[in-house]
Amino acid sequence: MHLMRIGPVGSEKPVARLTDETYVDLSETIHDFDETFFSSGGLRTLPAIIAAQVASDATSRFAGERVGAPIARPHQILCVGLNYRDHAAETGQEIPREPILFTKSPNTIIGPNDEVRIPRGSTKLDWEVELGIVIGKRTSYLDSIEDAKDSIAGYCVVNDVSERDFQLERNGQWSKGKSCETFNPAGPWLVTPDEIDDVLNLGLWLDVNNVRRQTGSTSEMIFNPYFIVHYLSQFLVLEPGDLIDTGTPPGVGMGLKPPVWLEVGDVMELGVEGLGTQRQIIVAPR
């Protein structure tokens, strides 16, 4: 299934994408793709609901509606840093022995094509295309990496927008360079695992102003999605609807020589194989 939320900010409705042109409106039976939906087993009952609506010809056509993030605001956004071998190499850092964990504020999540706003005082705004994991059930102390598969509701494209000066040069934790307003575009779809042939071999890419900056594959991950979910479950409780950003391939602005930073008017376009594409314009600070 390809699950989406469409409509104005704060008034998105849940739908299931059938094709690039058509969808099934689920708002009569489902409030939202949120913690309640996932924890109540919504993913198990949803196929029958979709099939019934398709059989009764209750489908709709996309008509230029805004696309929101595919999940409602999560309980938490957890992130893994330096999780691609080639990205670690470009930054001159050693491959981590364990996942590097940081968090992003849940209110950073926006739609895949919404504007990204430069924060006040920013001088080093950067991009990061990533694979996002959405948690499907309350998860803690998993016994094995294999068990992690049952905890994953699906995957989506995310852009882990980062302010490198805030993150790396202002001391303290990374979170203040990661949690600024609009810093986590997500979507366009949440794709359930059964729709993905091999999540360990998905291509990722990102362009800035039509110039290819990032090209990578999840096959270069140091810690794969199942390992990450299992690992995190040993330290904290993952709630249904939580989002995990799993790290970025090489080609970030910080790693270029000389570095390249985003400016007002720049356009980021990015995608992950089988998970759709995003497009964001950089706008001025408030």
The 10s digit of each residue's pLDDT in 79-113 is 998 899 877 777 777 888 999 999 999 999 999 99
Q: Is the dihedral of CA 241, 246, 251, 257 positive or negative?
A: positive
- The radius of gyration of the chain from alpha carbons, rounded to an integer in Å, stands at 18
Mean pLDDT in residue range 3-10: 97
Measured distance CA(188)–CA(82) in Å, rounded: 25
**What is the predicted pLDDT for the residue at 260?**
97
CA distances from 163 to 11, 119, 123, 157, 262 (A): 29, 8, 8, 20, 10
Structure confidence at residue 141 as a pLDDT band (50, 70, 90):
very high
Q: Are residues 145 and 278 in the same domain?
A: yes
Q: Are residues 214 and 277 in the same domain?
A: yes
**What is the predicted pLDDT for the residue at 85?**
83
Q: How is residue 166 annotated by DSSP?
A: I
Inside any domain, residue 68? no
How far from each other are the two terminal CA atoms of the chain, in whole angstroms?
A: 38
Biggest CA pair distance of the chain: 58
Point out the least confidently predicted range of 9-23, 90-104, 253-267.
Answer: 90-104
Q: Which of 11, 33, 61 is the last residue of a domain?
A: 61
Q: Are residues 26 and 112 in the same domain?
A: no
- Model confidence over 23-69: pLDDT tens digits? 999 999 999 999 999 999 999 999 999 999 999 988 999 999 999 99
Q: Are residues 159 and 247 in the same domain?
A: yes
Mean pLDDT in residue range 224-239: 98
Q: Which of 10, 29, 61 is the last residue of a domain?
A: 61
Total count of domains within the chain: 2
Residue-range definition of the domain harbouring residue 16: 2-61
Q: Are residues 44 and 185 in the same domain?
A: no
- Model confidence over 113-131: pLDDT tens digits? 999 999 999 999 999 999 9
What CATH number has the domain bearing residue 233? 3.90.850.10
Peptide bond into 258 cis (omega under 30): yes
Q: Which of 16, 31, 61 is the last residue of a domain?
A: 61
Q: Are residues 140 and 227 in the same domain?
A: yes
Q: Are residues 56 and 83 in the same domain?
A: no
What token pair was written down for 21?
A: 């042109």
Task: Quickly list DSSP for 91-132.
Answer: TT-PPPSS-EEEEE-GGGEE-TTSPEEPPTT-S-EE--EEEE
**What is the predicted pLDDT for the residue at 88?**
72
- pTM for this structure? 0.96
